Structure 1
Amino acid sequence: MNTKRFFFLFLICISVFNQASAQLPAKKAVAWPKIEAQMKPWTRWWWMGNAVDEQNLNLVLEKYAAAGLGGVEITPIYGAVGFEKQYLQFLSPEWMNALHYTVKKANALGMAVDMNTGTGWPFGGPQVKPENAATKLIVQDYKLNAGEKLTESIKVKETKQDFAKLQALTAYGPNGETEDLLPLVQQNGVLNWSPKSGTWTIYAAFAGKTRQMVKRAAPGGEGFTLDHLDQKSVDVYLKRFTDAFGNKPQGVRSFFNDSYEVYGATWTPTFFAEFKKNRGYDLAKHIKDLVSKDSTSGQIARLKSDYRQTMDELLLDNFTKNWTNWAHGLQSLTKNQSHGSPGNLLDLYGAVDIPETETFGSSAFDIPGLRRDPADVRNVDPDPMMSKFASSAAHTGGKSLVSSETFTWLTEHFKTSYSQCKPEAEQLFLAGINHIFYHGTTNSPVNVPWPGWLFYASVEMNPNNSLWPHAQGLNNYIARCQSILQAGKADNELLIYWPIYDVWNKAKGLDMALKVHDVDEWLHPTPFYKLAKDLSKAGYSFDFASDRLLSRSKVAPNGIKTAENASPYQVLIIPASKLMSPETLDHIVQLASDGATVIFQELPQDVPGLNDLEKRRAKLKTTLSKFVFTGENGTSGYKIGKGKILLAGDVQQALVQNSINRESLTDTGLQFIRRKNNDETYYYLVNHTAKNIDTYLALNAAGKITLLDPQSGMIGAGAMQNGKVRVQIKSGEALFLNVAQNQPQNIAWNYLNKAGSKINLNNPWALHFTAGGPALPADQKLDKLSSWTDLKDPRLAAFSGTGVYTSNFNLTAKNAREYVLNLNQVDESARVWINGQEVGLLWSIPFEARIGKYLKKGNNTIKVEVVNLMANRIRDMDQKKIQWRIYHEINFVNINYKEFDASGWSVMPSGLIGPVTITPYF
């Protein structure tokens, strides 16, 4: 009886469970996220001369939206000659009306608006009076013998320094004595003092002005550059905006600040006081050493490290945090390019809502067929490790977005193809960037003749570009990538400390601006950089940490937490560094005691700075003396509390010994970045090698794997073998892998297996030109494909625009699993139709598409629309001396900042060059 009752209850339980299961929502198949405005690429939008009006704003915004842009970043600059009457004064009521219209129209189009908190760069303008302007330290020296008095007044000798103020006057005696003479200076500058013996040198320190003006300022934005180190000056600067805004939100998503280019700003009037408060000693007694040209003295290096640390604190607190708090009061975010700043870049990036890096110049990739003419590129290689400073600040701070000013001077004007843009954008994605901003788009009224208004240092991402009809190809690719890269959180296992004191501890120079263009000086020579490069190549993922970040990091059950919304890190790595503050070492020890694993490549040797030097040295030495390491094979360990500290010259070996696994997929040459979104892990794989890759990959993340192709949008379940997933990635292509334990089986990915004989499309082609200029060429009949510039019509050598090729081919049988169309050489982008059905845009190498579903047995038609570069038309205009460069200030320059002249260029190949083939796969 009991047995029957138990069986009956068991059936009831099964029934209830089945009913409950039936009510659970089914697990959705893996799909691309819904594309939102923030996932699309945005663009820097130059308002030349602020010559904007509602009619033209309406037209261009509609074109931007239709092409796939998600937002614009308004930066007013200098204007075009002859349009002065249309200029609006920055922040005037008329300008504010234009801003309001822009925000309203953009929002109606599903776009958003960012705004530079100024015009041109850096921050400055008419509200910046001399007392609030960028400040520099001016030092003059005098010599006096015993009994002598100065016969001259102590006043600044440099011209145009009417607002310079004497802040310190220090006398140095023959035996190292110092004496503060400032109280002895009369109001008229006369010094009432003479030395009693020996020869003394007197150093006078003045707070002078750099007199730097806003660069590329727009009407109403002209004026001195701001003193970023002084809070009162920053407040004065921002008040102009607050007043223009009526202290109300303007619908601006984020306020933007360009890279720190405040030249020679070595000082602020409060520097002496801030230095004494923060460093604990009087800098006025060390003026002689501060301005010393000595490049070897350890004592001077320590002094200047303290000076640089003080600048860092002033810039962080008085400008960066202050500006961000102001923006938050207007319900907007801040987006800052911290590079170039004289401070700790990680903290400066981390103090804003959206850290932003930039790429400047062109990278060399091994992708076959990718054009990189040395004459058309700058001798600057963007460094992905530099970009990781911005992404690290975002990841460790739990911020969802990290952006980049992208394609600045990627090539010479008018010669940039979308194929060249793609790997450069991918390199940013691999560095952790997840929001591309084009550099850029110039607002151009419809009545301005071609090529319209253009900025002097950009890739022309605007409707006048002959490539524009195919802009959706690049834009949609970026949007697909960013839709995943903005989801979830970065999934990096390592946290690497950046030894900033080793960077600051240099006796040469004064302030130290850490620029993108100078990484070969302050970044590349360091053990930190070499370690990061080696770990990346080996397949490890990491972010960088500053001293401040470590001070507020905690140990959680699943690793080191740097912020509430940040992913945990499994290991903290301290690269070989000479200098470390005792406070930072104590924080590191505390993390280990609380359960963290810490790996020192080498132990620090000393402390930075001058104040209480021996006391702080003793403290560091005492802490280090407690490390009792034991072990063999190059790695020794010290158990402390719940965690451990390891000492390992070979960091990778230590990681392996502690079961911190690398991603072995990098052995194939593939590069990757990994993100975690709830219970799913995404891998973004990129093939920048010269070879096509078809292999099975082992992943550290376990589960079912779905492949997502960001080029085509295709999705399918990956084929598995011994826990590995098969991937096929051609040179120049990328692929996402979605890994999850619980997901439905998607339709299987259609792999290209056995290739049949190629079908060559050798029938004649008809070529018809549909748009462009200076004039539409005549129709052409082509027995063989070649550059249209080689054809007989003389108009073709000067033509930039769109040509449409049509032909047909015979398919004797349709019996393959898939067919792949390969256009081979395309100059520069193509849109393809097969049998009247649009296949899509083939805008980048390898210019291939799967077309099996469009084919039929027998006769098939093919149409290929091709757009070429602007270069040939610009060349023709310069040869004919047609004036199109009509801008104030810098006007227009070439990639080497010389006068632009395209008249001597060679004609660039254009059109469908092929050969065009179709490959069946069985």
Structure 2
Amino acid sequence: MNIQSIIKLSLICFAFGNLSAQNPWPKTTETAKPWTRWWWMGNAVDEKGLDKQLTTLNKAGFGGVEIVPIYGAKGFESKYINYLSPEWMKMLQLTTYKAKNLNMGVDMSVGTGWPIGGPQVDEQDAATKMIVQTYTISAGENFSDKIILKDEKQKNLKIIKLDIVTAYNEKNEAVVLTDKVSSDGSLNWKPTSGKWTIYAVFVGKTLQKVKRAAPGGEGYTLDHFSNTATADYFKTFDKAFGNSNYGIRSFFNDSYEVYNADWTADFKNEFKKRRGYDLSPYIKYLVSDELNEIAGRVKSDYRETLSELILNNFTDNFTKWAHSKNSKNTNQAHGSSGNLLDLYAAVDIPESETFGSTKFDIQGLRRNLEDINTKEVPDINMLKFASSAANITGKPLISNESFTWLTEHFKTSWSQVKPEAEQIFLSGINHIFYHGTTYTPADVQFPGWLFYASTNFVPENSLWPNIKGLNSYIERIQSVLQSGKSDNEILMYWPVYDQWANPKGKDMAFKIHNIEKWLHPTVFYENLEKLGKSGYSLDMISDKMIGEAKFENQNIQVSENGGSYKVLIIPQLNYFSESTLKNILNLAQNGASIIFQNEPKDVPGNFEVEKRRKELQSLWTQIPFQQNGNLKSASFGKGKIVLSSDVEKGLEFLKIEREKLTNTGLKFIRRKFDGGKYYYIVNHTSKEINQNIPLNFVGKQVTLMNPENGDYGIAQTQNNSVKIQLKSGESLIVKASETADNSVAKWKYVEKTEAPIVLNQPWQLSFKEGGPELPKPRKLTKLQPWTNFTEDAQTQSFSGTGVYTTTFSLKKNKADDFVLKFDKLYESAKVIINGQDAGIVWCLPFEINVGKYLKKGKNTIQIEVSNLMANRIRYMDQNKIQWRNYHEINFVNIDYKPFDASNWKVQPSGLDGEIQLIPVHYSK
């Protein structure tokens, strides 16, 4: 090997890390890097533009793109390309070819806009609903009306089917009359006594069309409950793709937002097959608002049937189809009426979604109420539905559609994105998709094409020069969270039957937008919150998963590649399946530990209720509970069963240890690998943590790893605790190993700091890039934002990069390092010292270690500050410069009102307050 080859190999090893025995960071991959949803507006893409944007994304640290075609920009209609047409497939092939050369991945949506549907969905395969009409008839009357559909919107449809006709008298006695109605709607039946109400159920259509569809993707929304409709839908993709997958890693399906779809053509037969009885005599209880026990039981069975239909007829078939193309599939289950855990588990990459802004206690984190949607707050426990399903069934990747409507347009800084990303990671998700990036042709002026609900991860964003700071941070964390396996020790059952038994309404959609109705009020959620804050790690489990679980190697395990769990918790509930209880007792018989928060009260559903109720009670009475302090416990076979209203007391009784580090307010998630465990630890408190924190596992050696800059070193440990120094907003990876590597250097703990050197001398301010025009350079007697100069209109409208430059003299100093600390930074900065790139400052606390770039005597420092897009957009709206001109929704603000930035205040931009250079001494 020649010297050039050796140098080249050394550079590769340096770039990728992990190839050296000393470097603890896992090898980075395309999936470890963040991906982004890539909107193709009107499919108006071309080879040159695709090449340019993929190259730009690659340089910024993106690992892949997810193509979602949507509506187009006005004036570009001649460049639109029909979805799945030969020309579109050519653009797709160019994309995947270029991406492969850049070591990037490509996913694509199996539809345009959302929810899926399109021109291939005919009336028969379109989303279906039940339409109910009622009639009255008394004894001796001739029924002169016709039982025919009266809905004007449905009259043009060719497929109209009368599905169920049932009459009820005052005593609620039912007579099924479906076969008594002739083809013209005449009823061939007369009651002999009493007054009767007739319920007629027609198979109708929701008539919903694909929302935000792209050219060639317009049409009806799919009937997700129909096996035939799903098969028909994917035939169009078979035709377009042939035997190839065109380089697509994973086919993606967006959140289920199919409104009023509560039936399918074969529902009546499917219900009888799955629930064991005919729904026809009970149709009144399903469609009326009677709040009684029978209504709740019938509706529970109806909702369970819908759940099984979307799982079996859509989700399972979607997975099989993707596999037939040698690709994976990605699915957002939320929004549907199905059991979310089972739906997430049925695909290769379960995907959740965050929407809105979270309130964190991080010092200095900006969260202006006028710039956020206060009704939508991401919830870590909602995210855990996806990660739980993946962890239990052994799916290595769990993705998230991230940062939708994080703040008002053009006002999101990377420092605001970071804690939201951290919360996503703390939920167990390890594969973030930014929402999102819009393809823009090269000749479209600032701000380029934009999607109305996205945080703008676009090259036109004035913050783009420093996005590599955010992307590198996410890449390092995801490289760890995609390694090994989840290390959660607790399973908690989701009592979905308590939800399904609600006698109100008909179908029940489990949306991220209504968790205050179906999730927050439950004891289940209360347990999730309490246990998480106490330091327990858990996943949620469904009835189906419990049925597949085994007790092996002293743990509960559902899948061979999935997680292993020490205990199963059944939270307080009313309805519990006798078959699930039987499965749980079998687990206990073989050695599993189970905690019940209360005795199950009843069986769900309306089939053979008394028989099943007795079976449930009989199974329960087999457990030989004895009072044990303030709880009851029983040995059951080789296992233990605990009955305790206080779940934590039950966990203590079973000697399940919590991670006490949460006492400090720190948050964590834990993963295991061969030879040790990773802890990802985040400080979202307002205080600095500088102390030893206990860990349940420290092994023989603990390595600390800083995901912000890649630094690492051996930690100080003492009595199963690790010394941690984390400022408000910071995070760390803790790698606890069963073996020691003496070649790794010690972690640099700050022992003391000296009085700061305040850089309060004059500064030169110039402008590097941005618009609408570069403001004139100026000399500053004191550091301040460029927006302070209100007399200069250019500073008020400028979005881009301003460069602050000064020189200072440094006397000989024995400090081990220097920290450059910003008082206020709007919004991110690249630091250059003595001509050397010292790094990016983009998140709180706004500081960076710069000691190795400083020298004795004169030093020159340049701080290239990039601000928000907001001021330039404000200027454009004030001057009525056209920049939003789209079909469909065009452009809206965070409250979905027409967007107008003309009345915005000027957003502060640049540096403010003091910049300090702090001498630091590390402990020896």
Please tell me the TM-score bracket, short chain as reference.
over 0.9
1:543 pairs with 2:536:
no
- Determine the structure 1 residue equivalent to 2:900: 901
1:134 pairs with 2:127:
yes
Asked whether the equivalents of residues 28 and 743 of structure 1 are also in contact (C-alpha less than 8 Å), the reply is no
Query: Aligned partners of 1:287, 1:247: CA distance in 2, in Å?
Result: 46
Query: Aligned partners of 2:242, 2:815: CA distance in 1, in Å?
Result: 67
The residue type paired with residue 87 of structure 1 is: Y
**Structure 1 residue 838: Cα displacement:** 1.3
1:49 pairs with 2:45:
no
1:635 pairs with 2:631:
yes
Query: Aligned partners of 2:889, 2:101: CA distance in 1, in Å?
Result: 36
Query: Aligned partners of 1:174, 1:672: CA distance in 2, in Å?
Result: 60
Asked whether the equivalents of residues 786 and 909 of structure 2 are also in contact (C-alpha less than 8 Å), the reply is yes
- Determine the structure 1 residue equivalent to 2:795: 796
1:351 pairs with 2:350:
no
Asked whether the equivalents of residues 126 and 222 of structure 1 are also in contact (C-alpha less than 8 Å), the reply is yes
Query: Aligned partners of 1:255, 1:534: CA distance in 2, in Å?
Result: 37
Query: Aligned partners of 1:311, 1:229: CA distance in 2, in Å?
Result: 7
- Determine the structure 1 residue equivalent to 2:138: 145
1:27–1:634 Cα change, 3 Å:
farther
Asked whether the equivalents of residues 29 and 743 of structure 1 are also in contact (C-alpha less than 8 Å), the reply is no
Asked whether the equivalents of residues 76 and 120 of structure 1 are also in contact (C-alpha less than 8 Å), the reply is yes
- Out of 767, 776, 779, the residue aligned to residue 778 of structure 1 is 776
Query: Aligned partners of 1:34, 1:621: CA distance in 2, in Å?
Result: 54
Give the alignment's Cα RMSD to 1 decimal: 1.2
1:249 pairs with 2:260:
no
The residue type paired with residue 354 of structure 2 is: T
- Determine the structure 2 residue equivalent to 1:259: 255
SS in 2 for 1:131: coil
- Determine the structure 2 residue equivalent to 1:297: 292
- Determine the structure 2 residue equivalent to 1:9: none
Asked whether the equivalents of residues 119 and 221 of structure 1 are also in contact (C-alpha less than 8 Å), the reply is yes
The residue type paired with residue 37 of structure 1 is: E
- Out of 441, 446, 450, the residue aligned to residue 454 of structure 1 is 450
Cα distance per residue 1:478-519 (max 9 Å; x no partner): 000000000000001101111110111101000000000111
Query: Aligned partners of 2:703, 2:826: CA distance in 1, in Å?
Result: 34
Query: Aligned partners of 1:722, 1:144: CA distance in 2, in Å?
Result: 82
Deviates more, 1:393-402 or 1:907-916: 907-916
1:181 pairs with 2:198:
no
Query: Aligned partners of 2:676, 2:277: CA distance in 1, in Å?
Result: 53
- Determine the structure 2 residue equivalent to 1:840: 839
The residue type paired with residue 84 of structure 2 is: L
- Determine the structure 1 residue equivalent to 2:916: 917
The residue type paired with residue 213 of structure 1 is: K
1:739 pairs with 2:732:
no
Query: Aligned partners of 1:216, 1:781: CA distance in 2, in Å?
Result: 50
- Determine the structure 2 residue equivalent to 1:372: 367
The residue type paired with residue 861 of structure 1 is: T
Asked whether the equivalents of residues 360 and 407 of structure 1 are also in contact (C-alpha less than 8 Å), the reply is yes
> Where does 1:467-486 land on structure 2 (aligned, <5 Å)?
467-486=463-482
- Out of 140, 143, 149, the residue aligned to residue 156 of structure 1 is 149
- Determine the structure 2 residue equivalent to 1:168: 164
Query: Aligned partners of 1:165, 1:108: CA distance in 2, in Å?
Result: 54
Query: Aligned partners of 1:442, 1:763: CA distance in 2, in Å?
Result: 43
Query: Aligned partners of 1:365, 1:313: CA distance in 2, in Å?
Result: 39
Give the TM-score of the pair, scaled to structure 2.
0.96
**Structure 1 residue 810: Cα displacement:** 2.0
Query: Aligned partners of 2:563, 2:146: CA distance in 1, in Å?
Result: 61
Q: Percent identity?
A: 54
**Structure 1 residue 785: Cα displacement:** 1.2
Asked whether the equivalents of residues 696 and 720 of structure 2 are also in contact (C-alpha less than 8 Å), the reply is no
1:531 pairs with 2:527:
yes
Query: Aligned partners of 1:838, 1:884: CA distance in 2, in Å?
Result: 35
The residue type paired with residue 691 of structure 1 is: K
Query: Aligned partners of 2:854, 2:623: CA distance in 1, in Å?
Result: 71
**Which runs of no fewer than 5 residues in structure 1 stay unpaired?**
1-24
SS in 1 for 2:130: strand
Query: Aligned partners of 1:358, 1:713: CA distance in 2, in Å?
Result: 28
> Where does 1:229-244 land on structure 2 (aligned, <5 Å)?
229-244=225-240
Cα distance per residue 1:1-47 (max 9 Å; x no partner): xxxxxxxxxxxxxxxxxxxxxxxx99922421221111100001000
1:64–1:26 Cα change, 3 Å:
closer
The residue type paired with residue 412 of structure 1 is: E
**Which runs of no fewer than 5 residues in structure 2 stay unpaired?**
1-17
Cα distance per residue 1:329-354 (max 9 Å; x no partner): 00111111101110100000000000
Query: Aligned partners of 2:288, 2:599: CA distance in 1, in Å?
Result: 31
**Structure 1 residue 177: Cα displacement:** 2.3
Asked whether the equivalents of residues 554 and 592 of structure 2 are also in contact (C-alpha less than 8 Å), the reply is no
> Where does 1:312-461 land on structure 2 (aligned, <5 Å)?
312-379=307-374, 380-461=376-457
**Structure 1 residue 649: Cα displacement:** 1.6
- Determine the structure 2 residue equivalent to 1:759: 757
- Determine the structure 2 residue equivalent to 1:722: 719
SS in 2 for 1:130: coil
Cα distance per residue 1:837-874 (max 9 Å; x no partner): 21101111111111121222222211111100000000
1:584 pairs with 2:583:
no
1:705 pairs with 2:698:
no
- Determine the structure 2 residue equivalent to 1:750: 748
**Structure 1 residue 207: Cα displacement:** 0.5
Query: Aligned partners of 2:806, 2:554: CA distance in 1, in Å?
Result: 61
Give the TM-score of the pair, scaled to structure 1.
0.96
Query: Aligned partners of 1:835, 1:558: CA distance in 2, in Å?
Result: 60
Cα distance per residue 1:217-266 (max 9 Å; x no partner): 00000000000000001111110011111132221000101110000001
Asked whether the equivalents of residues 27 and 743 of structure 1 are also in contact (C-alpha less than 8 Å), the reply is no
SS in 2 for 1:683: strand
Cα distance per residue 1:864-900 (max 9 Å; x no partner): 1110000000000000011111000100000000000
SS in 1 for 2:858: strand
Query: Aligned partners of 2:320, 2:665: CA distance in 1, in Å?
Result: 44
Asked whether the equivalents of residues 824 and 846 of structure 1 are also in contact (C-alpha less than 8 Å), the reply is no
Query: Aligned partners of 2:193, 2:243: CA distance in 1, in Å?
Result: 62
Asked whether the equivalents of residues 805 and 863 of structure 1 are also in contact (C-alpha less than 8 Å), the reply is yes
- Determine the structure 1 residue equivalent to 2:560: 564
SS in 2 for 1:560: strand
The residue type paired with residue 755 of structure 1 is: T
Asked whether the equivalents of residues 120 and 215 of structure 1 are also in contact (C-alpha less than 8 Å), the reply is yes
**Structure 1 residue 204: Cα displacement:** 0.5
- Determine the structure 1 residue equivalent to 2:14: none
Query: Aligned partners of 2:825, 2:171: CA distance in 1, in Å?
Result: 76
1:600 pairs with 2:596:
yes
- Determine the structure 2 residue equivalent to 1:17: none
Query: Aligned partners of 2:672, 2:719: CA distance in 1, in Å?
Result: 24
SS in 1 for 2:873: helix
Total equivalences in the alignment: 897
Asked whether the equivalents of residues 27 and 744 of structure 1 are also in contact (C-alpha less than 8 Å), the reply is no
SS in 1 for 2:69: strand
- Determine the structure 1 residue equivalent to 2:8: none
Query: Aligned partners of 2:913, 2:314: CA distance in 1, in Å?
Result: 55
- Out of 67, 86, 97, the residue aligned to residue 74 of structure 1 is 67
SS in 2 for 1:169: strand
Query: Aligned partners of 1:216, 1:69: CA distance in 2, in Å?
Result: 26
Query: Aligned partners of 1:26, 1:155: CA distance in 2, in Å?
Result: 73
Asked whether the equivalents of residues 180 and 189 of structure 2 are also in contact (C-alpha less than 8 Å), the reply is yes
- Determine the structure 2 residue equivalent to 1:311: 306
Query: Aligned partners of 1:107, 1:898: CA distance in 2, in Å?
Result: 40
- Determine the structure 1 residue equivalent to 2:679: 683
